[in-house]
Amino acid sequence: MRLTLHQLRIFRAVAEAGSIARAAEQLHLTAPTLSIQLKQLSEAAGMPLYEIVGRKLRLTEAGRDMLEAALAVREPLQRLEQQLAARQGVERGRLRIAAVSTAEYFMPQVLGSFRRRHPGIEATLRIMPRAALIERLDQGLDDWYLMTRPPARGELERERIGINPLVMIAAPDHPWTRSPRLEFDLVTNTGFVVREQGSGTRLWTAEWLQRFGAELNPELELGSNEAIKQAVRGGYGLAVISLHAVQLELDAGELVLLDVPHFPAPVCWHLLQKPGRIVTPAARAFREHLQVEMPRHDETLIARLESVGHRWTGGPEGYVVAR
195 and 154, same structural domain? no
Of 27-41, 105-119, 281-295, the range with the lowest mean pLDDT is: 27-41
Establish if 85 belongs to a structural domain: no
201 and 124, same structural domain? no
pLDDT above 50: residue 318: no
CATH of the domain at 97: 3.40.190.10
Establish if 72 belongs to a structural domain: yes
220 and 195, same structural domain? yes
Banded model confidence at residue 322, pLDDT cuts 50, 70, 90: low
Q: What percent of the chain has pLDDT over 70?
A: 90
Q: How many domains does the chain have?
A: 3
pLDDT above 90: residue 87: no
149 and 138, same structural domain? yes
What rounded mean pLDDT belongs to the chain? 84
Domain extent for 210 = 166-257
Q: What is the pTM of this model?
A: 0.71
State how far Cα 78 lies from the chain centre.
Answer: 21
Establish if 262 belongs to a structural domain: no
Nearest-10 Cα torsion for 235, 239, 244, 245: -40
Establish if 15 belongs to a structural domain: yes
Establish if 55 belongs to a structural domain: yes
pLDDT tens column, 203-253: 989 988 888 888 888 889 998 999 999 999 988 889 999 999 999 999 999
Task: Give the C-alpha separation, 96 to 72, whole Å.
Answer: 21
Establish if 111 belongs to a structural domain: yes
Looking at residues 103-130, what average pLDDT do you find? 90
301 and 158, same structural domain? yes
Contact 102, 224 (CB under 8 A): no
Banded model confidence at residue 108, pLDDT cuts 50, 70, 90: very high
119 and 73, same structural domain? no
Distances (CA, A) of 55 to 1, 30, 52, 243: 30, 18, 6, 43
Task: Give the C-alpha separation, 274 to 135, whole Å.
Answer: 12
State how far Cα 123 lies from the chain centre.
Answer: 17
Establish if 86 belongs to a structural domain: no
pLDDT above 60: residue 321: no
pLDDT above 60: residue 125: yes
47 and 28, same structural domain? yes
CATH of the domain at 55: 1.10.10.10
174 and 159, same structural domain? no
Domain boundary among 20, 55, 80: 80
Mode of pairing for the β-strands spanning 166-170 and 256-257:
antiparallel
pLDDT tens column, 10-38: 888 888 888 888 888 888 888 888 888 88
177 and 155, same structural domain? no
pLDDT score for 248: 92
102 and 232, same structural domain? no
274 and 152, same structural domain? yes
Q: Which residue type does 112 have?
A: G
pLDDT above 70: residue 175: yes
Domain boundary among 217, 234, 257: 257
171 and 34, same structural domain? no
Establish if 144 belongs to a structural domain: yes
